[in-house]
Amino acid sequence: MEEVRAHMTKRFTGFVALGAAGLLAVAGAAPVGAQTTSIEMIAAQYTNQMQPYFDDLAARFMEENPDIEVTVQVVDWNNIDQVVTTRIATGEPPDIANLNYFAAFAADDLLYTADQIVDEATLADLIQGFRDNSKYDGVEYAVPDLASDRLFFYNKAILDAAGVEPPTTWSEVKAVCQAILDTQPGIVPLALPMGPEEAQAEFLIWAGGNGGQYFDGENWVVNSAENLEALEFLQELVDMGCTQPNPGSFDRTSGAFALFAQGVVGMLNGAIFLPGELENTYQSDVDWGVTPFPAADGKESITLGVQDYFFGFKNEDGSNQEAIQKFLSFLFIPENYAAFLEAAGGFLPATVSAGETMSDDPFLAPFIEVLPSAIFYPSDQAAWGSVQGAIQDNIGAAFVPGADKQAVLDGINAVGEGS
């Protein structure tokens, strides 16, 4: 009888399941006074599959751990920062969060350390490079949940029609642009999305190809000579008609991806999830290829690695720590973690074990191959969240005719130094 009822609760989700489980615990053999710990997680909406994934995961977890109640709220990327910071500001942080930065929270001494939020076996299984990026002030406060890196995408038909090979250096980019402009009017040779959506990535890819960075380990260097040169090079591309007009108001998804999917863009900086978008969102039949990012002449090609994080918020008496640790470790059990990656869609795994099983995937192989040359955002800096916002908001102004590019970069750098 109990089993039948327990089975039935599986059909319900969310709060209904919680309520039913609570009733069961009372009606069943649960000893009076058994402590129930409730924890809440705010997770990022990589795809629409995330909420169903977490509902199922939480239900299975609670079946194994009747003394822990887990609620997972999946929030889309446009609102998740606000949701988390509002919760903190009102004194009600979630127990677990899943975001693309963590250092600001560590700086405010709000977080458990990594070894407190996952068990030893899980921690040991995480890829070392990602763990190194999860430290603030030398202490590991977060665990990587997944990662992505990026490659240069090109439309094979357009490059073939221009009779050129994919470029590997900046001067070849110009040559390829010119060849496309000469042969195929109406085609945008290179999409350059410097609009607010993802400008911090687009700019770092080009700056990195010239040896530039945002943070050199000690100081903010958004306004470095390398970065300025990169901006000036991009301006030359804009001026020669290689890109769409007004890069500063051109966004990645609504602009670059959409046009590439329509087959009117020759090349763009794409991410590991672009092929999935092309297939599912745009139902595009563009024949694309990938190659490492072109670098400035004489410089090394880089890729941009991006990793996101899980981290746990301390409560007053530390009573949520054990539940957080159990739940996150449960998530990292290989079969659960594989389902997580599948729900998130087309990302690189953060664990060694999952990486081994996925390295045979022919689609992922080129992305895994360039990973050693990855540069990352300075997400271990508390000011990174603000600097990222400043880049997204302001870098586009550098492409307005007559703009003082150095002043734009100085203004962004000041945001980092000021915090």
Partner 1 sequence: MTEATRTPTDTSAPRPKATPPRRRLPDLGPLPWIGPALLLIIGVVLWPAFEMLRTSVMEISVSGLARGFTGLSNFERLFGDPDLPGIMTRTLVWVLVVVSVTIFISLGLASLLNAAFPGRRLVRWALIIPWAASVVMTATVWRWMLDGFYGIINRILFDLGLIDSFVNDWLGDPGVAFYWLMFVAIFVSLPFTTYVLLAGLQSIPQDIYEAARVDGATGRHSYRYITLPLLRPALLVASIINMINVFNSFPIIWAMTKGGPGSLTDTTTTHMYKLAFQLLDVGQSAAMAVVNFSVILVFVLLYLRVVDWRRA
Among 189, 294, 312, 411, binds partner 1 (CB under 8 A): 411
Among 24, 25, 88, 123, binds partner 1 (CB under 8 A): 88
Among 58, 104, 176, 190, binds partner 1 (CB under 8 A): 104
Q: Cβ(351)–Cβ(127) under 8 Å?
A: yes
Q: How far is the CB of 301 from partner 1 (least distance, A)?
A: 28
Q: State yes or no: residue 108 binds partner 1 (CB under 8 A).
A: yes
Q: How far is the CB of 403 from partner 1 (least distance, A)?
A: 8
Distance separating alpha carbons of residues 400 and 418, to the nearest angstrom: 26
- Residues 307-327 as b/e (b if ≥16 CB within 10 A, e otherwise) read bbbbbbbbeeeeebbebbbbb
Region near partner 1 per CB under 8 A, out of 12-20, 102-110, 165-173, 281-289 = 102-110
Among 20, 110, 175, 364, binds partner 1 (CB under 8 A): 110
Distance separating alpha carbons of residues 210 and 182, to the nearest angstrom: 27
Q: How far is the CB of 108 from partner 1 (least distance, A)?
A: 5
Among 245, 280, 319, 365, binds partner 1 (CB under 8 A): 245
Taking the least distance from each CB to partner 1, the nearer of 139 and 407 is 407
The count of residues interacting with partner 1 (CB under 8 A) is 47
Q: Which residues in 371-390 contact partner 1 (CB under 8 A)? A: 382-383, 385-386, 389-390
What are the φ and ψ backbone dihedral angles of 206, each rounded to 5 degrees? Answer: -70, -45
Please name the helix (run of DSSP H) or strand (run of DSSP E) that holds residue 21, with its range, or none: helix 14-27
Q: State yes or no: residue 198 binds partner 1 (CB under 8 A).
A: no
Among 54, 61, 105, 220, binds partner 1 (CB under 8 A): 105
Distance separating alpha carbons of residues 144 and 307, to the nearest angstrom: 6
Q: How far is the CB of 230 from partner 1 (least distance, A)?
A: 17
Give 398's DSSP letter: G
Site track for partner 1 across 261-280, x = CB under 8 A:
---x----------------
Taking the least distance from each CB to partner 1, the nearer of 200 and 269 is 200
Return the residue matching tokens 């203004």: 411
Q: State yes or no: residue 82 binds partner 1 (CB under 8 A).
A: yes
Q: How far is the CB of 415 from partner 1 (least distance, A)?
A: 7
Q: What amino acid occupies position 3?
A: E
Region near partner 1 per CB under 8 A, out of 46-54, 114-122, 246-254, 332-340 = 246-254
The DSSP string of 49-90 is THHHHHHHHHHHHHHH-TTEEEEEEEE-TTTHHHHHHHHHHT
Q: Cβ(142)–Cβ(350) under 8 Å?
A: no
The strand pairing partners of 135, in sequence order, are: 140
Return the residue matching tokens 């319900």: 12
Q: State yes or no: residue 301 binds partner 1 (CB under 8 A).
A: no
Region near partner 1 per CB under 8 A, out of 18-26, 194-202, 230-238, 363-371 = 194-202
Instruction: Return the axis-axis angle of helices 225-239 and 199-208, rounded to nearest 10°.
Output: 100
Distance separating alpha carbons of residues 227 and 214, to the nearest angstrom: 9
Taking the least distance from each CB to partner 1, the nearer of 180 and 344 is 180
Q: State yes or no: residue 396 binds partner 1 (CB under 8 A).
A: yes
Please name the helix (run of DSSP H) or strand (run of DSSP E) that holds residue 41, with its range, or none: strand 37-44
Beta strand extents in 251-359 (DSSP E only): 265-271, 288-291, 303-312
- Which residues of this protein are in contact with partner 1, per CB under 8 A? 81-82, 84-89, 104-105, 107-108, 110, 186, 194-196, 244-246, 248-250, 255, 259, 264, 382-383, 385-386, 389-390, 392-400, 407-408, 411, 415, 418-419
